[in-house]
Structure 1
Amino acid sequence: MAEKGVQLDRETFSCSVCLDLLKDPVTLSCGHSYCTKCIKTHWDGEDEKRIYSCPQCRQTFTPRPVLMKNTMLAVLVEELKKTGLQAADHCYAGDEDVACDVCTGRKLKASKSCLVCLASFCEKHLQPHYDSPPFQKHKLVEPSKKLQENICSGQDEVKKMFCRTEHKGHNTVSAAAERMKKQKELEVSRQNIQQRIQDREKDPQHVESHFKAPGHSK
């Protein structure tokens, strides 16, 4: 839950124009805050009309307001940079992590995978599975990178074991062990085929019978 709080704080203290954390924040009379540079640039584009607006709520101001730095907000943003953002970095998915399939841009770590949706979700995007009745029947498991490949069609769980039977009695072995066994069988079969070809090529009787067969003449 602490991670979720950090995400909310970052959104709260972000400028809606540049979408980054507020820099030299100023607050308009309507209550919305912006980077000083961002709101100045926005208003410079409205100089010709002499009517200045809030980019979010579109409230208008005449004449152009004098901007004053919101010092309290500036302090809070600096504190967030020092503490909250460092904590938030640990929430992002690395190369070895399962990433949230819903996140856009830099993806957060998935906290669960859903066997019905066949997707993985971070804490934020997983919330509908807890709050919405239609999603509450979905089966959630620990995050899995290859979720669809590892679904056992006869069971609602990520396949940690390889089913040798059609789920009757569940004669199971580990997937890794079964893969190694199949690879060995394939290699033996390949060697047998090669040996048969070599034996036929070396067998003079086979060659002679081939040329004496109907349809072949000397």
Structure 2
Amino acid sequence: MATAWCSESEDPFLCSICLDIFTDPVTIPCGHNFCKSCITKRWISDQQQCPTCKELFAIRPALRINTSMSEAAASFRSSAQSEARSYSRRTLVVPDQVLCDVCTERRKKAVKSCWDCLTSYCETHLEPHKRITCLRSHKLTQPGQNLEEVVCERHGKPLEMFCKMDKMFMCQTCAASSHKKHHVVPLIQEYKGKKKDLERTGAQLQQMIQERLLKMEQIKQSVKLSKEESEQMTAVVIKRCAALIKSSQKIRNQLLEVVEQKQKMTEEQAEGCLTKLEEEISELVEMSDQFKQLSQTENHLLLLQNFPSLKVSTDWTDVRVASSCDGTVRKTAVELETLSKQMKKLSADVELSWMRLHAVDVTLDRATANPYLHVSDDGKIVGCGDVEQDLPDTPERLSFLGILGEQSFSSGRFYYEVQVEGKTKWELGVVRGSISRKGENTICPENGYWAVWLRNGLYRALCGPSVPLFVTLKPQKVGVFVDYDVGLVCFYDADAALPIYTFTGCKFTEKLYPYFSPCPREGGKNSAPLIISPIRQEL
């Protein structure tokens, strides 16, 4: 693109391809000049044709630098850049207070500046310009300093015009001559336009500043909440782990004491057996000597008279010393299994405690309640009646047996608990705000539902198709936790701290509302209501 300070008079020094002053100019056989790099790139991507006269060359001509043109272009580039720098410095500086240039002693504040005199005047010294005829034709403006810098060096006239094409200030003579084909506007017009731009930009900057200040506060608040959450969770973990460590140390000490006592008993038993064995060995050795002597005699009568009988007082066949761990292994395994269960329970307790840190106060939205549902005054209890109430069929009201929470969530995490004690049927979860509220709906994520239900003792996650849940303990209170940004919906047995089911990989794109359905009464078997319970923070 051509530089801002090039005009029509500069055509001899401009490359017709890049429209800028020549760089390494070369002349082709038809006599036209181009930048060496420009014509080379053109011929690489196109045929060997002159961009100016369209003469076609069968063989690509050799390119040589046009020395004279190169020197002239370099000289013109230098002078043009100097002129551009000179013009760029010619700005009218308007300080807070401009003083009169005529006052000699105590200089007064100027009220006007004269473009013709290039002088600023106070009210007193301005008087001749109002009185003398030849001075009254002078152009007076708001007071400014360095007036000589805002006068055209070529024509000696004030720079009252602005060329939008070359981005230059100029006098009216310049505008009518060298810039007559350019888009030239009065300086005041450009000033007003730029001032409006500045005001718009200033307003945008202020808005950007406010947005960033708000974001800073949000980040600081997030860090503060995160720190509080971390401190609370640290307290939970330390307390629970301390209890578990204490319990494990107690089990360890008990087991070690049992092993030590068993070992002591084993050693005492072994010592008694060894002592008795030594005594019997001595007796047997003595008897063996007697038998040996008698076996060597030839006196028949003597052998028969003294023939001893072999009397063994103890049968050692079934005698054994019990191991110090006999009878303890099974007990140890039981104790360790108990400890393992306690650790798993601790992990679940900590996870549920962390979820409870994101507890929200949920109330029921009567405007969405099915006409068969009855809502308590505090908006915390909902039950099903036998008679349909006369309620307006508004767009937000559910035609199926359900009700939504008043609160909606579109980011972050939230948790609430619902008492389901005494019920044989219920549905709980969260839904998109755009679910179809009229007619029958298939409850599944595709339709905007993330829910579980109980039907006659069987629990299912409504995934579409539904998934049976193997719940060991019947929950009396169900906790619902949602991490909007991660895409998780978790259901917990809030009393036992046991997970029921978790929806993962959810893609939330709009507001989520808590969803409740106490289901029909079934002749009184399912008359118990659903109750939104207060959250207990057990730290």
Could you say which structure has the higher strand fraction?
2
What TM-score does the superposition give when structure 2 sets the normalisation length? 0.19
